Amino acid sequence: MVAGICSTDDQVVTPLPVILSHEAAGIVESAGEGVTTVKPGDKVIPLLIPHNYCLKNDVSNPRGTLRFTCRVKSIHHFVGISSFSQYAVGDENAVAKIDAASPLEKVCLIGCEFSTGYGSAVKVAKVTPGSTCAVFGLGGVGLSVVMGCKSAGVARIIAMDINKDKFAKAKNYKKPILVVLKEMTDGGVDFSFEVIGRLDTMMASLLYCHETCGTSVILGVPPDSQNLSMNPMLLLTGRTWKGAIFGGFKSKESVPRLVADFMAKTFSLDALITNVLPFEKINEGFDLLHSGKR
């Protein structure tokens, strides 16, 4: 199994012990009775949102049922995936078979960050050619939003982050960012994306999309049990406010298709891969995440 470190793994709060990770690719070791869509040896990506979300899902109960034990002690799993582990057990509905030639260490990103960002642009916001977009936060997910905007022919992408290592060319403004943005765009952007997971930037992202025709999408996962209060006038003038998990993709059919698009070089994942580490160095991976170097 190959896994990516997504910042959602880092935001998870107790109960412990838990095996984290939900962005992965691996090879089927064995299949249970009655399983028809995968067989031993197949390459697969575990699905964050099982295909039939309405029937069966672990999102509202991310630590769910117990399927791991260590020296007779039960260990919680995470959204039914728990890929920081050599082996994992998953429901047939929650894995998708992918191209046998696909490089697992790259396509694992299709299991979460890439698809979330890319789909939020092309499928959720449905960004239009020639439009202007703003992306708040340039981690793996935010960069994937940028890739989706680019592929859809967006004319201008304004990307914001507080980590200056994220930019080859960036400006540091003295004025408040919302004032700068309104001046830059004649009243606001057509599409804005919050890809950080902070309530203040969720509000900024909404405010910054155009008041009569803008669409703002929340991708960031907010801090546990915090609520946002907002003035409904912001929506009455015509803004659209949306949110999505996994870029709005139906996973079992979309994941293999995205892998096929990757294999056909429709997009590259290289820009999203900053380090490849062996499993024993997992804590170094988290240190890199915390220092903003991944």
Ligand X SMILES: NC(=O)c1ccc[n+]([C@@H]2O[C@H](COP(=O)([O-])OP(=O)(O)OC[C@H]3O[C@@H](n4cnc5c(N)ncnc54)[C@H](O)[C@@H]3O)[C@@H](O)[C@H]2O)c1
H/E stretch holding 68 reads: strand 66-70
Applying CB under 6 A, which of residues 26, 113, 133, 185 lies at the interface with ligand X? 113
Is 266 a binding residue for ligand X by CB under 6 A? The answer is no
Residue 287: CB minimum distance to ligand X, A: 13
What does the alpha-carbon distance between residue 225 and residue 210 come to, in Å, rounded to a whole number? 29
Q: Among residues 140 and 256, whose Cβ is nearest to ligand X?
A: 140
| Residue 73-112 contact track with ligand X, rule CB under 6 A, x = bound | ---------------------------------------x
Cβ-closest residue to ligand X? 139
Q: Does 116 bind ligand X (CB under 6 A)?
A: yes
> Which of 26, 46, 111, 142 forms a contact with ligand X (CB under 6 A)?
142
Residues in CB range of 132: below 8 A, 6 or more apart: 154, 155, 156, 157, 158, 185, 189, 190, 191
Residue in 128, 163, 237, 275 binding ligand X, rule: CB under 6 A = 163
**Rg from Cα positions in the chain:** 20
Measured from the CB of residue 112, what is the shortest distance to ligand X in angstroms? 5
Task: Looking at residues 39 to 68 of the shown chain, list those that interact with ligand X (rule: CB under 6 A).
Answer: none
Q: Contact, 144 vs 114, CB < 8 A? A: yes
**Quick one: which segment of 3-11, 66-74, 148-156, 228-236 binds ligand X (CB under 6 A)?**
3-11
| 10, 18, 63, 81, 228 from 13: Cα distances, Å | 8, 10, 10, 16, 20
- Asked if residue 93 lies in contact with residue 32, where contact means CB atoms within 8 angstroms, the answer is no
Strand partners, 132: 156
Which residue ranges make up the site for ligand X (CB under 6 A)?
Answer: 6-8, 11, 112-113, 116, 136-142, 160-163, 166, 195-198, 201, 219-221, 245-246, 292
